[in-house]
Copies of this chain bind each other. A is one copy, B any other.
Amino acid sequence: MKLSQSEENYIKSIYNLQSKTEKVNTNSLAAFLDTSAASITDMLKKLKSKNLLEYKKYYGFRLNGAGNKQALKIIRRHRLWEFFLVSKLDMEWEKVHDIAEELEHVSSAELIEKLDRYLGNPKIDPHGDPIPDEKGVMPVLKQIALKDLPHKRNAVISSVSSQTPQMMEMLNHYGIKIGSPIKVLKSFVFDGSLQVKIAKQPECIISGLAAQNIFVYDT
């Protein structure tokens, strides 16, 4: 099924809202898309007629199986492009969203599968969000504290718990970014500090306290 850019944007937005609330309602989607409630109603009719949506007037709506599948396809494209922009083109992860928003609508299946292979079948995007596979399955990623990551295991930084200026200063210094590949080389029992290798940067030491507040996906 060939969808217009608008239809794709609506589907993706509904998917995102759905993951937070059970049923999505017109006004919240209107707010999310910064558009009028009337436009939402118009598009809902259209998506319903294409059998992507469960929708009863005045009762809210949610994607059905087919709609969810479409959403995952679009999200997959978006996140793969984000990964590309950061890891290959060296763009900053804060900036790639809007560009990926455009690239995601290029729908060639061959393109996306080759891009995926070229990128090494990444499991999470630069914002730390999981990338659905070619069948639309979200990878299940267990998030653990860096201090609990076994040695030599390839992992990816997923989040940081403390966002104090002091912490941020240190993260910046070590070039620690969401999505950066990381590996623990050695741990020191004395103070819990770790010797780690982050992305392409030289090895460095991270304190035990930092290692408790940095979380990674063990892939």
Q: Which residue of B88, B90, B102 contacts A106 across the interface (Cβ within 8 Å)?
A: B102
Interface size on A, residues (CB 8 A): 19
A62 to chain B, nearest CB (A): 30
Please tell me if the beta carbons of B85 and A99 are within 8 angstroms of each other in the complex: no
Q: How many copies does the complex hold?
A: 2
Within 8 A of B (CB), among A84-106: 85, 88-91, 95, 98-99, 102-103, 105-106
Q: Which residue of B89, B90, B98, B114 contacts A89 across the interface (Cβ within 8 Å)?
A: B114
Please tell me if the beta carbons of B114 and A91 are within 8 angstroms of each other in the complex: yes
A16 to chain B, nearest CB (A): 22
Please tell me if the beta carbons of A111 and B85 are within 8 angstroms of each other in the complex: yes
Contact with B along A93-136 (1 / 0, CB 8 A): 00100110011011110110011001000000000000000000
Instruction: Give the interface of A toward B (CB within 8 A).
Output: 85, 88-91, 95, 98-99, 102-103, 105-108, 110-111, 114-115, 118
